[in-house]
Amino acid sequence: MGAAAPSFSWGVPFWFEGMSALRADMPPDRRRCLPNVRHCDRSSARYDTNVEPNFELFDHTADLGIRIRASSVAGLLKPASEGLYAAIGELVPGVDPDSCEVHLTGGTEAQLLRDFLNELLLRFEQRKQIAVRIDDPRLDDQELGATIDFRCVDEERSAYHREVKAITYHELAIRSIVGGCEATVIVDI
């Protein structure tokens, strides 16, 4: 009798098995889901449609995840900020806009996105301000930049659901999807 064929359980986090590239033994529908593919294909010309910027919150063990989608890497900044604020609660901007230029360097695109969200979280904690407009977003593997309009949170009309303590490096990734990019960020609550 020959040895039994190996079986794979796709319910188990497969990146713990040391997978760093596409494997021929993976089903085709799972090949695009590798978490360590971090660079997004910037040539949207090969796609028929572009991804509309959006985010979704998902449960994560003792934390909360934010999955962000956009048609480009730079396009991830606005829905990522919206996802962060949605994780905190239903925040309503007040009056008195305050504008500033954000410029971050060093690290990968995913690390720069994480640092950007940490800057927004710090500004929220220290000044109770949220980003209401992000102009001229730039994000590549060397730098992140944007001009951001902030407004103070209207405390009377806002509802807080949870405290976000930090943006973690856990499962941090940016990957290509059909029509754009998808980022995964886990926040410590």
pLDDT of 148 = 96
pLDDT of 61 = 74
pLDDT-based confidence at 174, cuts 50/70/90? very high
Of the ranges 17-31, 57-71, 121-135, 162-176, which one carries the lowest mean pLDDT score?
A: 17-31
Question: Over the stretch 64-120, which tens digit does the pLDDT of each residue have?
Answer: 999 999 999 999 999 999 999 999 999 999 988 899 999 999 999 999 999 999 999
Summary mean pLDDT of the chain: 79
Q: Express as a percent the part of the chain with pLDDT over 90.
A: 62
Average pLDDT over residues 166-178: 93
pLDDT of 38 = 38
Residue-by-residue DSSP string for 71-112: SSSGGGHHHHHHHHHHHHEE--B-S--EEEEEEEESS-HHHH
Q: Which two tokens stand for residue 5?
A: 């064929």
Predicted TM-score (pTM) of this structure = 0.72
pLDDT of 35 = 36
pLDDT of 32 = 38
Instruction: Pick the closest to residue 172 from 159, 161, 182 (CA basis).
Output: 182
User: Domain extents for the chain?
Assistant: 36-188
Q: Is 27 exposed, middle or buried (0-12, 13-18, 19+ CB in 10 A)?
A: exposed
pLDDT-based confidence at 43, cuts 50/70/90? very low
CA atoms of 154 and 128, how far apart (whole Å): 9
Average pLDDT over residues 162-183: 93
Query: What would the CATH number be for the domain defined by 36-188?
Result: 3.55.10.10
CA atoms of 176 and 153, how far apart (whole Å): 34
CA atoms of 129 and 100, how far apart (whole Å): 12
Sign of CA dihedral 151, 155, 157, 161: positive
pLDDT of 49 = 59
Q: Is residue 109 within 8 Å of 174, Cβ to Cβ?
A: yes
pLDDT of 143 = 95
pLDDT of 52 = 78
Angle (deg, nearest 10), helices 77-88 and 109-127: 40
Helices (H) and strands (E) in the chain, counts: 3, 10
Average pLDDT over residues 41-68: 69
For residue 103, give every residue at least 6 positions away whose Cβ sits within 8 Å of its Cβ, in sequence order, or none: 143, 144, 145
Average pLDDT over residues 157-162: 94
